[in-house]
């Protein structure tokens, strides 16, 4: 089964995410449990959590992913920010357990002067502070790699997985990967980039994909998403990616974070992904 969906709103209650996903004809997806711009997580009521779990079981294939707050910085050398980041992540993995969500996705953050090795060590040790409930896995997301942000190189992801005592996996964002300098714009480029990912990180750790096209060229480190097939990755690259054996054979969920513009929203992109998969199946 092709698992494709989008990052949808929980406005009015986390259980509303199920209906929001169904409306765009997605069958898996991603949510924030609270505003990603603040530390306050608020409270998810038991009734909301039960409705979310039941709605998901009845109407969606899954899985869901919780995206951690944008404020979280696992790589930071600053004690206060590190403590807040760990606390926020603990609340996210606990929320995931309450909601029956399998994954919590997080960016490594920026080392802000600690250096690449120091930042990776900080991230791994911060993740080791978490008490991750059974059935929940933390995913480290690939990054566009601007400034001192880590995660733009596959080696960064592999190093965190190796150094951490947690059972971590990876979420690969196609727009970020492309912006970081890994070409995905042709079938040949997709094959080469995926070979490198497997060599460095390993397909066994690829548990989710943020499927986004890019408004900027490969290697620019600029993170701005485009509709599937209409950015600089383009239709050929996106078709090759969604039909790559590592995605198809392992049933990796494809979660859209595409824009709402030009009269196109998540529903258009979900349908486009299905068309690109059918192009090969036909």
Number of domains in the chain: 1
> CB 113: neighbour CB atoms within 10 A?
11
What pLDDT tens digit does each residue of the chain (282 aa) get? 999 999 999 999 999 999 999 999 999 999 999 999 999 999 999 999 999 999 999 999 999 999 999 999 999 999 999 999 999 999 999 999 999 999 999 999 999 999 999 999 999 999 999 999 999 999 999 999 999 999 999 999 999 999 999 999 999 999 999 999 999 999 999 999 999 999 999 999 999 999 999 999 999 999 999 999 999 999 999 999 999 999 999 999 999 999 999 999 999 999 999 999 987 654
* Domain coverage including residue 105: 4-281
Closest to 256 (Cα-Cα) out of 245, 239, 268: 268
Domain with residue 142: its CATH number is 3.20.20.150
Predicted pLDDT at 280: 65
Handedness of CA 94, 108, 36, 233 (dihedral sign): negative
What does the CA dihedral 256, 258, 261, 265 come to, rounded to 10 degrees? 0
Give the CA distances from residue 139 to residues 192, 205, 206, in Å, rounded to whole numbers and listed in that order.
23, 9, 9
């Amino acid at each position: 089964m092709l698992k494709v969906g989008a990052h949808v709103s929980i406005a009015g209650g986390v259980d509303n995410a199920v209906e929001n996903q169904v409306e765009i004809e997605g069958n898996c997806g991603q949510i924030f449990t609270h505003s990603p711009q603040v530390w306050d997580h608020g409270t998810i009521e038991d009734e909301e959590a039960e409705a979310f779990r039941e709605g998901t079981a009845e109407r969606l294939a899954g899985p869901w992913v919780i995206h951690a707050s944008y404020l979280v910085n696992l790589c930071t050398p600053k004690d206060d920010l590190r403590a807040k980041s760990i606390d926020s992540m603990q609340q996210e993995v606990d929320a995931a357990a309450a909601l029956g969500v399998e994954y919590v996705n997080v960016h490594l953050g920026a080392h802000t002067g600690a250096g690449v090795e120091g930042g990776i060590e900080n991230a791994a040790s911060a993740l080791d502070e978490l008490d991750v409930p059974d059935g929940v896995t933390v995913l480290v997301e690939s990054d566009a790699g601007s400034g001192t942000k880590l995660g733009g190189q596959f080696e960064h992801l592999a190093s965190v997985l190796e150094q951490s005592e947690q059972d971590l996996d990876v979420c690969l964002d196609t727009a970020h990967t492309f912006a970081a300098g890994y070409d995905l714009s042709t079938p040949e480029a997709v094959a080469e980039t995926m070979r490198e990912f497997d060599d460095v990180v390993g397909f066994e750790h690829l548990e989710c994909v943020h499927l986004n096209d890019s408004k900027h060229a490969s290697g620019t480190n600029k993170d701005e998403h485009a509709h599937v097939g209409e950015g600089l990755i383009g239709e050929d690259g996106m078709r090759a990616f969604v039909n790559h054996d590592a995605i198809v054979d392992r049933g990796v969920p494809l979660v859209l974070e595409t824009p709402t513009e030009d009269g196109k929203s998540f529903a258009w992109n979900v349908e486009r992904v299905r068309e690109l998969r059918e192009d090969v199946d036909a």
